[in-house]
Structure 1
Amino acid sequence: MRLQIQWGTLCLGAAILLLISGCAATPGYQTSGEIAGGNFWKGDVFLRGDMIVPAGETLTIAPGTRVQFLPPGRGKDSFTDHPFFPGSELIVYGRVVAEGTSENPIIFKAEDSQGPPGSWGAINFQEDSSGRFSHCILTQADSALHSQNASMRVENCFFSQNLVAIRFNQTDILIRNNLIADNQTGIRFHYGAPEIVDNIFSGNEKGIFVTSFPKDYRICGNTIIGSRRYHVVLGEEVPDDVHMRNNYWGSDDSDEIEAGMFDGRRVEYIGRVLFEPFLTSPNPIAGPTWNR
């Protein structure tokens, strides 16, 4: 069963990477600045610099759209200090709806398909904004989805080759049925009220990084395997134990699972990851439904 899940993950990842690499720079349009009066994106969209979705406005992105981020160019990267990132970004004060399909996913990537992780900044949600993402592919970003004090649903998406796939602070967020593979960090958060369920994490340097004071979270039903350093990392501001029961860690050996945790077992002043009882085989409904 474990081999089937890993093989299925690799097959989907390889197919998606082939799809991305085959995206030629077909005629499209470039945009930057600020959306006014709402907007609808379809086809090839090229962002050079920082694009803003103002409060009260909605950006809708059609299935099959390819949003490609170019280097910002002089004077186009207006926001670089935290909570923003260097590189072209989509900065959201309003709402974004990006709902693709299994046949026509929405792709967010660098214009240069060979560019490294961090080639563009983020889809960056600010206070009181909201977003819905499904059947999307997000690759090569600093932090592909970033939010603070926002509301988000992320389902049936594929994240690969990002510095951080999903990063948030005090956000009401559902992360369900995604494939999060080969990123430096899969999910990084503090505070917040995340529901992280039925995902596959595979081959990330760090699977889940909890930086400080998690609250009202639910993390279960996930398959978390093949992490290059740690499955879970707890930061210095996590003094209490963190509950991550009923996940599959690629082993039925508690000692082997513990070796994948950076927590109070290594540093006495932080909490521990409480992972027992754990799943002894992969959750059959974990990962994108289009991989079944």
Structure 2
Amino acid sequence: MKKKKKNPFIIIFVVIFIVIFIIVAIFITKKVYTGIYSKIYQNQVAKFTGNTLSEIEKKSIQKEAKDLSNVKGTFTGKQTWSRDVYITGDVIILSTLTIEPGTIITFAAGQDSLPSSFDIEIKADGFNDDDPTRLKEYADSHSSIFVVGSLIAKGTKEQPIIFTSDSKEPHYADWGGINLVGKASVLENVVVEYSRNGVSIPSPDKGMIIRDSVIRHAMWGCFSIDGSNGLFENNLAQDCGHEGFDVGGKSIIRNNKVENSHAAVVVLHGSPTLQENIFQDEVHSFPGATPNLVNNIIDSYLKCKAVKVWDYDNYKIPCFGEPYLIK
């Protein structure tokens, strides 16, 4: 009995059907995975901002910065920056940003082509009420870096890493600042200049380290680290409109120098250790704070009583006065 030949058209049809089925399955799987990943990502950022991502941020999500001449947006993968980096809008790093020695990161002065949900208005506190740089309008028009993951910026004495303004006549608050809201960031041999806040650390992580670095020409605090428990040693804070160190928690502030600033240190809360520093400006401690001062040199003279003025547009920072002064 002869075997019945299989119809070639049926075989072709079956093959086509299987291929289509596989393609559809892959598409659906990818769609579901992408949706889950997007939700996780939104929750991760919302945890720090209190908001879900805006539509403009969703469109700006990138895996890596390929063009370093126009950097802005949200980056999900590990990043490495080298040589010249030009920032024109807010940068949000969700993973790890590594910056190589000798890199110069330049911010477009007074520009933020991609505002983010991190751009918030800072509440009036009785001192900064009339300061325009606390307003959302300022934040939306001045670029900043927000590191939700980790920042590893290890320069050398010969090749420091520099964050600066692109203005021909740079000034205080040309750009926002560096904000470390994640864990275990390390900055060594770094220069940060002409920002509103130099480096801000609201994270209590003990792994935060800044050493052998210079933060200068800041409209507000050079080291705004009131939420940190990190280590800060061998640094120079220079020409800071509010204070060299805005401190809280259990940070260790060791062998640093603050000069030509409004105040050297303001201890807001907690029990930070201030050891073997040279403070050419006053040190203030708020009620309830219990700083541990060890072998510091403190010059109790408020620099704003002299001719020094920290200004932005037509606004000038008023003198602190001398509440809670540590002699």
Contact 2:100 2:155 in 1 (8 A): yes
1:136 and 2:174 correspond: no
Aligned to 1:246: 295
Q: Deviations over 1:2-57 (max 9, x none)?
A: xxxxxxxxxxxxxxxxxxxxxxxxx9622110123211100110111110111xx1
- Normalized per residue, which structure has more helix? 2
Equivalent pairs counted in the alignment come to 223
TM-score, normalised via structure 1 length:
0.69
TM-score, normalised via structure 2 length:
0.62
Q: 1:240 to 1:58 in 2, by over 3 A?
A: closer
Aligned to 1:186: 244
Q: Which of 146, 151, 160 is the matching residue for 2:216? A: 160
Q: Which of 68, 86, 90 is the matching residue for 1:50? A: 90
Q: Which of 151, 175, 180 is the matching residue for 2:232? A: 175
Contact 1:38 1:58 in 2 (8 A): yes
Q: More displaced, 148-157 or 90-99?
A: 148-157
Root-mean-square deviation over aligned CA pairs? 2.6
Structure with the bigger RCO (C-alpha within 8 Å, sep 6+) is 1
Unaligned runs of 5+ in 1: 1-26, 251-256, 276-292
Q: Deviations over 1:124-153 (max 9, x none)?
A: 112x43311011111001111101124310
Q: 1:74 to 1:53 in 2, by over 3 A?
A: closer
Contact 2:98 2:153 in 1 (8 A): yes
Contact 1:49 1:71 in 2 (8 A): no
Larger of the two Rg values belongs to structure: 2
Q: 1:136 to 1:148 in 2, by over 3 A?
A: same
**How far did residue 162 of structure 1 move?**
0.8
* 1:160 counterpart letter in structure 2: R
Q: 1:41 to 1:241 in 2, by over 3 A?
A: closer
Q: 1:99 to 1:187 in 2, by over 3 A?
A: same
For the residues of structure 2 that align with 1:153 and 1:92, how far apart are their CA atoms? 14
Aligned to 2:151: 96
- Normalized per residue, which structure has more strand? 1
* 1:123 counterpart letter in structure 2: I
For the residues of structure 2 that align with 1:97 and 1:108, how far apart are their CA atoms? 14
Aligned to 1:16: none
Q: For 1:1-292, what aligned pairs fall within 5 Å after superposition?
A: 29-54=69-94, 57-71=95-109, 73=111, 75-78=113-116, 79-81=118-120, 86=139, 87-126=142-181, 128-151=182-205, 152-163=208-219, 164-184=221-241, 185-189=243-247, 191-210=248-267, 212-215=268-271, 217-225=272-280, 227=281, 231-235=282-286, 238-239=287-288, 242-249=291-298, 257=300, 273=326
For the residues of structure 2 that align with 1:223 and 1:73, how far apart are their CA atoms? 36
**How far did residue 249 of structure 1 move?**
2.4
For the residues of structure 1 that align with 2:163 and 2:265, how far apart are their CA atoms? 22
Structure 2 residue matching 1:47: 3-state secondary structure:
strand
Aligned to 2:4: none
Identity %: 22
